[in-house]
């Protein structure tokens, strides 16, 4: 039997845990998740219905201009922007607060997904 850990609280773990129904295994799982130093983020990125990250490449101007769009950002979009630009050194074109999207210059979808 598979059980998905709480989507919101363990969003960065993204793992399925297989366990039996005996008490010792459940207790060990509970203490392992409680004792781990989990970092909380001020933002959350919802996955698509096929469980992939919502990072897309948009091609414009007759295939001469490529834009990378990150969608479905909940929470503090500016904190996510600061963290991703510091980690990857990307050039940002737009922060769309109304539609919860970030637009980056170039094709950097693979770097963002990692």
Is the pLDDT reported for residue 6 higher than 80? no
Does pLDDT of 87 surpass 70?
A: yes
* Stretch 21-43: mean pLDDT: 62
| Residue 20 predicted with pLDDT over 80 | no
pLDDT at 28 over 70: no
Question: What number is the average pLDDT over the span 57-69?
Answer: 93
Q: 44: closest CA among 90, 6, 87, 85?
A: 6
Q: Is the pTM of this model over 0.85?
A: no
Give the percent of the chain with pLDDT over 70.
Answer: 67
Return the exposure string of 2-39: e unless at least 16 CB atoms fall within 10 Å of the residue's CB, then b: eeeeeeeeebeeeeeeeeeeeeeeeeeeeeeeeeeeee
The DSSP bridge partners found for residue 75 are 43
For the chain, the average pLDDT equals 77
């Amino acid at each position: 039997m598979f059980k998905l850990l709480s989507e919101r609280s363990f969003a960065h773990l993204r793992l399925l845990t297989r366990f039996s129904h005996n008490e010792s295994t459940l207790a060990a799982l509970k203490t392992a998740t409680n004792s781990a130093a989990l970092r909380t983020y001020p933002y959350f990125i919802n996955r698509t219905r096929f469980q992939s990250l919502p990072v897309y490449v948009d091609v414009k101007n007759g295939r001469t201009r490529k834009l990378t769009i990150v969608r479905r950002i909940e929470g503090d979009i500016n904190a996510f922007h600061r963290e991703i630009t510091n980690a990857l050194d990307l050039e940002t074109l737009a922060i769309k607060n109304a539609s919860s999207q970030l637009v980056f210059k170039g094709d950097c979808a693979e770097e963002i997904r990692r």
